[in-house]
Amino acid sequence: MNIAVIGTGYVGLVSGVCFAETGVNVICVDNNKEKIEKLNLGEVPIYEPLLDTYLKRNFHEGRIQFTMDLKQAVDKSDIIFLALPTPESEDGSADLSYVLKMAETLSGIIASYKVVVNKSTVPVGTAAMTQKIFDENCKVKVDVVSNPEFLREGFAVEDFLKPDRIVIGSSSERAIELMTRLYKPFVRQGNPIFVMDEKSAELTKYAANSFLALKISFMNEMANLAEKVGADIDSIRRGIGTDNRIGSAFLYAGLGYGGSCFPKDVKALQHISSINQFDFKILNAVIDVNALQKEKFIRTILTNKEVKGKRVALWGLSFKPNTDDIREAPALYVIDKLIEAGASVTAYDPEGMANVKRKIGDKIQYAENMYDALDEADVLVIVTEWPVFRTPDFDKMKSMMHGRTIFDGRNVFDHADMKSSGFDYFSIGRQVIKAER
Ligand SMILES: NC(=O)c1ccc[n+]([C@@H]2O[C@H](COP(=O)([O-])OP(=O)(O)OC[C@H]3O[C@@H](n4cnc5c(N)ncnc54)[C@H](O)[C@@H]3O)[C@@H](O)[C@H]2O)c1
């Protein structure tokens, strides 16, 4: 089978590489010249665990190619995946311009039957809109399929190779047969392929992300209550997470969700609801809670520590561990607020520093490693729970830092351990620890 993947970002590149891994011939297309040049040297332009190994193998064995030549890729392919951006518009809706423009361009290029698959996260009705573009402008038959992607950055290759489920939204038998054949190697262990109508497939993706965001906001509210009544959110999390009706994932309190998906997808679902005259009350609360959680974290820092003219060390920039993605990263908000309050910030992140430097430049200093960031720091603020931060040398930290205060936005340290650490320790949904001096 031959496929093309248009848009070679976090989703497109991982999809392309994983399809190639099953023996499919893949041509990845992107309009970013630098990206394609890098990929043609066998280099991965993003940080994603395992991707490098899988990409190199399939690239050297000739199963995956990278090009800017859309027509050549389309001509050679049976199935064309669109993995294009759908960023948030000003009114909260998903910006469909990349997807719809591409459908128009493809209409003028496609010369024989193709299946065009939308892998981007798109509002209800996008498959129908895209199908209309092909029906009205393309000389040959094109079937549009909605195939939302559920991979998690940081585990993207694993998730793609062993998905919990595949969702295919289509009303074309021919397209469903091709898609099912393509995905067969990924569902050999009995994980299901759900075939449904296009609208349900589109809404399934928003339902998944919004439900996960809801779990996060719920736990953040519970953490805020726990702080007030003197309870411990970690104990509560363990106490409910073992109940298999609830499940243990996404129960971690913190300073809110970020990233390229949750914020925009939850807002897009809110927009879909509002244009359909539906007041999705829980969803509105999820968004409000998430914004307040970040504000509350900053308030905790600023009311407990004078940061004006002080040095703040910041651990973690990426929106979550195991990725270099900084889109909508809470760290960017925290940095802005700290600088606004007069602090100077030195940050360390294992993978996210290059992207932050590109975005905000010399607004902050960048440290070589997590301990260098602490040099003469008055305060440490932890924003991303990278595993490397979990078991630091507290004596070394004290010897490097000027101050003795940690604000932990991700509860990376065991609360009990912190009692003897010698630090004042502020975390989320747990009691404040004051160091004995
Ligand atoms: N990142 C995730 O974890 C994730 C997970 C599931 C779904 N999604 C959805 O998948 C879609 C893509 O997300 P992403 O994170 O991969 O985005 P991305 O920004 O990493 O990748 C998009 C790619 O498309 C390319 N592109 C833009 N216009 C193009 C054009 N005209 N021709 C060719 N290439 C073009 C860009 O250069 C970029 O490489 C979004 O709708 C997103 O919501 C993302």
Contacts of 19 (CB under 8 A, 6+ apart): 3, 5, 26, 182
- Which one of the listed residues 18, 28, 138, 261 is annotated catalytic? 261
| 260-307 pLDDT, tens digit each | 999 999 999 999 999 999 999 999 999 999 999 999 999 999 999 999
pLDDT of residue 272: 97
Q: Identify which of 99, 21, 97, 102 has the alpha carbon closest to the alpha carbon of residue 64.
A: 21
pLDDT 10s digits, 127-145: 999 999 999 999 999 999 9
Give catalytic status of residue 261 as yes or no.
yes
Distance 262 CA to ligand 1 centre (A): 14
Quick one: what percent of the chain has pLDDT higher than 70?
100
pLDDT of residue 253: 97
For atom 7 of ligand 1, the residue with the nearest CA is 149
Please, what is the average pLDDT of the chain? 97
Domain ranges of the chain: 2-196, 197-437
Is residue 422 over pLDDT 80? yes
Q: Do domains 2-196 and 197-437 have the same CATH topology?
A: yes
Mutate to test the pocket of ligand 1, among 15, 17, 30 (most ligand atoms within 8 A of CB): 30
Q: Give the span between the Cα atoms of 55 and 19, in whole angstroms.
A: 11
Residue 437 has pLDDT above 80, yes or no: no
Residue nearest to atom 36 of ligand 1 (CA): 7
Report CA(373)–ligand 1 centroid distance (Å).
33
The domain defined by 2-196 carries CATH number 3.40.50.720: yes
State mean pLDDT over 337-356: 98
Minimum CA distance residue for ligand 1 atom 25:
7
Instruction: Output the ligand 1 site: residues, CB below 6 A.
Output: 6-12, 29-32, 35, 83-86, 98, 102, 120-121, 149, 151, 153, 260-261
412-417: average pLDDT = 94
Query: What is residue 436's predicted lDDT score, i.e. its pLDDT?
Result: 79
pLDDT tens by residue, 173-209: 999 999 999 999 999 999 999 999 999 999 999 999 9
Written in H, E and C, the secondary structure of 193-242 is EEEECHHHHHHHHHHHHHHHHHHHHHHHHHHHHHHHHCCCHHHHHHHHHC
The CATH fold of domain 197-437: Rossmann fold (3.40.50)
Element counts in the chain: helices (H) and strands (E): 16, 14
Pocket test for ligand 1, best of 5, 6, 8, 10 (most atoms within 8 A of CB): 10
DSSP 3-state assignment of 168? Answer: strand
Instruction: Say how far apart CA 297 and CA 345 lie, in whole Å.
Output: 16
Atom of ligand 1 lying closest to residue 10 CA? 16
Query: Please, are residues 87 and 95 in contact by the beta-carbon 8 Å criterion?
Result: yes
Convert the pLDDT of each residue in 360-392 to its tens digit. Answer: 999 999 999 999 999 999 999 999 999 999 999
SS3 348: strand
Written as one letter, the residue type at 101 is K
Which of 46, 100, 153, 260 most suits a substitution to test ligand 1, by most atoms within 8 Å of the C-beta? 260
Atom index in ligand 1 nearest the CA of residue 12 equals 16
Q: What is the pLDDT of residues 10-33, one digit of tens each?
A: 999 999 999 999 999 999 999 999
Lowest mean pLDDT among 17-21, 53-57, 241-245, 433-437: 433-437
In ligand 1, the atom with minimum distance to the C-alpha of 120 is 41
Q: How far apart are CA 201 and CA 119, in angstroms?
A: 11
| Structure token pair of residue 297 | 């974290």
Can you tell me which atom of ligand 1 is nearest the CA of 105? Answer: 31
